[in-house]
């Protein structure tokens, strides 16, 4: 069964609202294809559930007051999944010890996702690549 644009939009929304709310790891992991995971961020590449868990713990303890504003989602739906281009504005505060104050970050993130159906028929992220982060006015 092919993936619909509605399912892709729902996955994108679930992913970014989860990041914004620092949802529990058990809520974020089902959004990912943990058997074939490939996530590329400026700071690291993740291919295992353990690497994702470490990354998620780090970002949720470093960044707060996050807001991901979805600007664009475009999909190329194919027989076995979909290639998705996602653009978001990411705003957050970042605190690096031992700084006395946090700093405000505002970036436009251009991303490529590959989404597939898992063995239960759920649409999940298999590949997630942050292509660029461009500063924007906060």
Q: 3-class DSSP state for residue 100?
A: coil
pLDDT digits (tens, 9 = 90+) for 52-102: 999 999 999 999 999 999 999 999 999 999 999 999 999 999 988 898 999
**Per-residue CA distances from 13 to 6, 49, 85 (Å):** 11, 21, 14
Q: What does the pLDDT read at residue 32?
A: 98
- The residue ranges of every structural domain in the chain are 5-135
Pairing type for strands 38-41 and 44-46 reads: antiparallel
> Over 80: is that where the pLDDT of 138 sits?
no
- Residue 19, burial from CB neighbour count under 10 angstroms (0-12, 13-18, 19+): buried
Yes or no: say if 44 and 72 are a contact pair by the CB < 8 Å rule.
no
CATH 3.40.50.2300 fits 5-135, yes or no: no
pTM, rounded to two decimals: 0.94
CB 3 within 8 A of CB 77: yes
Band of residue 1 on the pLDDT scale cut at 50, 70, 90: confident
d(CA 83, CA 15): 16
């Amino acid at each position: 069964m092919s993936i619909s644009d509605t399912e892709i939009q729902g996955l994108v929304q679930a992913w970014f609202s989860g990041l914004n709310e620092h949802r529990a790891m058990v809520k974020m992991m089902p959004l990912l294809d943990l058997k074939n995971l490939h996530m590329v961020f400026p700071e690291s590449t993740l291919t295992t559930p353990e690497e994702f868990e470490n990354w998620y713990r780090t970002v949720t303890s470093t960044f707060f007051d996050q807001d991901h504003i979805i600007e664009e989602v475009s999909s190329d739906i194919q027989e076995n999944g979909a290639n998705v281009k996602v653009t978001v504005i990411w705003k957050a505060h970042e605190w690096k010890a031992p700084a006395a104050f946090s700093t405000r970050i505002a970036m436009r993130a251009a991303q490529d996702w590959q989404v597939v159906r898992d063995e239960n028929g759920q649409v999940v992220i298999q590949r997630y690549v942050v292509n660029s982060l461009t500063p924007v006015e906060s």
